[in-house]
Amino acid sequence: MQKYSDLVEREFGISVIDTHYYRPNLASSHLISHENSAVFVDVGATPALPRLLAALTQKSLAPEDVTYVILTHIHLDHAGCAGALMKACPNARLVVHKSGAKHMINPTTLIDATISIYGQEAFDHLYQEIVPVPEDRVTVPEDGEIIDWRGRPLQFIDTPGHARHHFCIWDADSKGVFTGDTLGIAYPELQADPENPFQIPTTSPVGFEPDPLIDSIERLCNLKPDYFYLTHYGPVKVSETSVAALKEMIEVHETIGLEAAGNHELLKEKLLELYYQSLEKNCPGFCDKARLESAMSGDLELNAAGVEVWLKRKHKS
Ligand SMILES: [Zn+2]
């Protein structure tokens, strides 16, 4: 697979677009083309707009051909560009989880929450303007609902755990699931064995909940998919070993969080060690800890912050 092109074509009309969020190869958008129509699944942040439109041109499609813009959830590295893209694609409907829809129609709270996590400077750099989506262009599917997209069924599966406003999309034609953040992150540069991808959980604030996340992963595995299409980053082959390793990591977050006892730097160290041990199991000697840390960059900080928020919430109730 080419890893460093903005658009990589896969089977079943699926293409992976690098949205260049933060750095190359970190956040993707998936473009599916079928019967002269197009669907985007996750769209990156607003600066990704020219790349998304260029991908349509590359596939000989026009903005008018976009039928659906689907968001797995409303975190802005997945959803930030939705309003701008909807403006550019006059026939598209936005498909979003019922708990996320109001924040795409009026993004004020979402913008404030994102600024409180990332800071104003990073927000201005990474996300820029968040364009509201007109309410009459928004579709909210129920759990299990199937949208018949010109004969290609797309099924929406409610998948809490990374966030309550998260669903995944089962594409029976490709036997693929578009997983958003439910199956974690697979950094392309840390993949030693395509048969057994290395996936790290994403526990970013403020919605991480380990038990629902594990249930969601199991629900998706029951569909017997061939591929998971991760927003971070691209397709990975479904491997029982990799899924088991991911679930194991999610399970120990509570113990590690409690051991760190409110010491943020210690929690980061412990999480890095957890991921490193899992990477060593995946492929011994493939990568040292410093390289893992540099690949994760801001994600380690986000994961630690998300674990802390969840622990606080849990022990308050
Ligand atoms: Zn997310």
Spacing, Cα 162 to ligand 1 middle (Å): 7
CA of 251 to the centre of ligand 1 (A): 19
What's the gap in Å between 35 CA and the centre of ligand 1? 30
Could you report the per-residue pLDDT of 102-115, keeping only the tens digit for each?
Answer: 999 999 999 999 99
Angle 298-316/289-296 helices, nearest 10 degrees? 80
Write down the pLDDT at residue 246.
98
The pLDDT of residue 4 is above 90: no
Taking the centre of ligand 1 as the mean of its atom positions, its distance from the CA of residue 73, in whole angstroms, is 7
217-229 burial, b at 16+ Cβ within 10 Å, e below that, comes to beebbeeebebbb
Burial class (CB in 10 A: 0-12, 13-18, 19+), 240: exposed
Q: Say which residue the tokens 């800890």 belong to.
A: 289
Using a pLDDT cut of 90, give the percent of the chain over it: 92
Q: For residue 212, how far is its CA from the centre of ligand 1 (angstroms)?
A: 15
Q: What does the H/E/C string look like for 68-118?
A: EEECCCCCHHHHCCHHHHHHHCCCCEEECCCCCHHHHHCCHHHHHHHHHHH
The mean pLDDT of the chain is 95
Q: How many CB atoms lie within 10 A of CB 11?
A: 11
How many CB atoms within 10 Å of residue 316? 6
Q: Which residues surround ligand 1, an ion (CB under 5 A)?
A: 75, 181
Query: Tokens 């599966």 label which residue?
Result: 157
Phi-psi region of 144 (alpha: psi -120 to 50; beta: other; left: phi over 0): left
Residue pLDDT, tens place only, 259-286:
999 999 999 999 999 999 999 999 999 9
- Dump pLDDT digits (tens) for 19-37: 999 899 999 999 999 999 9
CATH architecture, domain defined by 7-239:
4-Layer Sandwich (3.60)
Helices H / strands E in the chain, number of each:
12, 13
Task: Spell out the domain ranges in the chain.
Answer: 7-239, 244-316
Q: How far is the CA of 36 from the centre of ligand 1 (A)?
A: 30
Residue 1, pLDDT above cutoff 80: no
- Centre of ligand 1 from the C-alpha of residue 181, in Å: 5
